[in-house]
Amino acid sequence: MKKYGLLLFLILSISCFSENKKSQQLQNDIVKSKIIEEKIISEENTNEIYKDRMKNFIREIRNDAGKNKYIITQNGNELYFRDGKLDRNFFPVTDGTTQESLYYGDVLKYNAVTKKESKDYMLSLLNPVRKEGKPVFVINYAKGNEKKDFLLKEDAKTGFVSELLPEFEARAIYNPIQGFNSENITNLRQVKNYLLLLNPEKFSDINQYFEYLKNTDFDLLLIEPSHNGIFLTKSQVEQLKTKKNGGKRIVISYLSIGEAEDYRGYWKKEWSKKWPKWIVKENPDWKGNYIVKYWNSEWKNVIKEYRGKLGSIGVDGYLLDTVDSYYYFQEKMENGNKIPD
C-alpha cells in the first residue's frame, strides 16, 4: 500500500512540476510575443523605438519578478501612451507611477514653481493614467505650509498622493502632507502618504537606518534598502512592513534601470577605468550615474542579478527609476546622431 501511495505522490509531483513549467513557459511566450508586437509597431514609427525598448525592458522585469511584486515607474509617463492614447498593451504591466516636480522643483531648482506649460503637459499624461485606476505619487521639492495646503487641495481634485521633500537628494526626513493613520495598507490604491528616502548617508550604519524606518508610520516606504554596501536583512524588511502604530504597510526598493550607478554593489572597479560598451556617458546632473544602453543584454543581466538580490530580502516591489532615459537616445536619433547598438 505504501508503495502505491509513494508512486501516486511521485506521479502527482511530476505532473504539478510539469504544469508549473508549462505555465511559466506560457508566461514567457506571452511576454516575447508582446515584445515582438511592440518591435513591429515601433519599426513603423521610428520615434517610438527607444520608448518601446524601455517598455519591453520593464515587461521583462515584470515577468522575472512575478505578479506578486509591485512595480512603480519613476517619471517617463509618456510610456503609458501611444499615438496620444493610452497604450493598452503596456498599461497593465505596472502598478503605479510617480512624477517629480509636478508643482515645485522645476528644472532642479529648489522651491521653484513649475512652469505652467510643463505642469500642464505632465498633467495631460497623469490625469488619464489616474482615471484608469493607476496610483500616481507626486514628488515635489519645496517647503512651507502654504505649499502643503495647495498640494492637499490639488490632490483632492486629481486623486494623486503628493509629498513635499526638503531636498533633491532624497536623504532627509520629513512629515507627510496627509497625516499618519493606523489603517492596514494592502495595496497601492490605499496609500495616503509615503516616505521617499533614497540616500541614507545621514545614518551611521544599516542598523540605525533600520531603527529609524521601523519607528515611522508612513503607509508606503520607497527606499534604498542598503547602507554603505550592506543590505537590510529579510527579517528587518519583514519588520518594516508594519508601521510603528501597528498598521500594515508596503515596502518598495529603489532600482535604477536606465542608468548605472558606480556606488551600487554590481559596479566593477574596472568599469571606472574603462566603461563597458553599454555605458554611453555620465549624467551631468548626477555624479556617478551613467546613461546606459538599457536594451543591451549585458546590462539587463546586471539588473536581473541585482533585482534578484533585492527580491531575496523580501521587498514588496521595485521603484524603477531613470525609465525616462529613452529621451536621450530619442533626441539623438531625431538630430541624426543615432547611437549604434
What is the arithmetic mean of pLDDT over 32-47?
54
What confidence tier does 4 reach under pLDDT thresholds 50, 70, 90?
A: very low
DSSP assignment of 195-227: EEE---TTSSSHHHHHHHHHT---SEEEE--EE
What confidence tier does 339 reach under pLDDT thresholds 50, 70, 90?
A: confident
What are 128-172's pLDDT values in tens digits?
999 999 999 999 999 999 999 999 999 999 999 999 999 999 999
Set of cell numbers at residue 128:
488619464
* pLDDT for position 340: 86
* pLDDT for position 29: 56
pLDDT exceeds cutoff 50 at 1 = no
For the chain, percent of residues with pLDDT exceeding 70: 87
What confidence tier does 9 reach under pLDDT thresholds 50, 70, 90?
A: very low
Set of cell numbers at residue 283:
549624467
Q: For the whole model, what pTM was predicted?
A: 0.87
Q: How many CB atoms lie within 10 A of CB 87?
A: 20
What are 16-33's pLDDT values in tens digits?
545 555 555 555 555 555
Whole-angstrom Cα distance, residue 77 to residue 18?
Answer: 39
Compute the mean pLDDT over every residue in the chain, rounded to the nearest whole number.
Answer: 90
* pLDDT for position 11: 42
* pLDDT for position 337: 87
What is the arithmetic mean of pLDDT over 88-98?
98
What are 280-331's pLDDT values in tens digits?
999 999 999 999 999 999 999 999 999 999 999 999 999 999 999 999 999 9
Q: What sections of 101-233 are H helices per DSSP?
A: 116-131, 145-158, 206-214
